[in-house]
Structure 1
Amino acid sequence: MTKPRDSTFPMRFKRPQTKEALKRLAAAQGTSMTEVAERAIEHEVALLGADMERRLTEALEVVRTYNQAGQGDVEDWIDAVAVGEESGLDPMRDVANTAGVAARTQDESTLDDPFGVLAAFARR
């Protein structure tokens, strides 16, 4: 039976003060720098993992709440689309016709067209 090999992970420190603090702590505890660093990493990973799990759980609850609250709205929208499709009317043609009629009767009505939208449809 073969003995499992220890994996080597060389640590490089951006700040020499961090490496020196690790060296002093290891000496004070009578253990290796690797042991101290490994325990610190395990602790940090456990904390970060728990925080990530908490945030994901909260996000999932928000998504679940959103889907449940909006379910009726989606069904109403789908029903409205189905009614429109069954009517056989071309929505773009109807918009253009309505705008054209409005533009032709603009003098007779109180419609205001400050941006020229109705006039643009009337040119079609």
Structure 2
Amino acid sequence: MDLIADILLAAGALGAGFYCFVLGRRLNRFNNLEKGVGGAVAVLSAQVDDLTKTLAAAQETAAKSTETLTELTARAEQTSRRIELQMASFHDIPEAAPVKEPAQKAELPTSGQPMFTRRAAGAR
């Protein structure tokens, strides 16, 4: 009886050892960084890091754009108020008389001699 129990115990130990060997190989293939799920997890992790950096940069750019847009809107409102004030002040100014053009331009006296003469390069 003891011999049968020892044989069954040894067979169970060998079966468990074989099961651990097969399980270890499967786990190595599962964690393989090139082909297995481990590689997919590593790639996805790198992509998440890149997306996080891109999102942070986009949020920073959006915040700067919001600040710039707010400043430009404030300047536009201020300029609009100034223009409205100037337009309102134009209503108080009486209309000016139309500007008359001078009769004719004075002509230079013309004599028979030219105004400019050309000299030779060597003569002074």
- Which structure has the larger Rg over C-alpha atoms? 2
Identify the structure with the greater helix proportion.
1
Give the TM-score normalised by structure 1. 0.42
TM-score by length of 2: 0.42
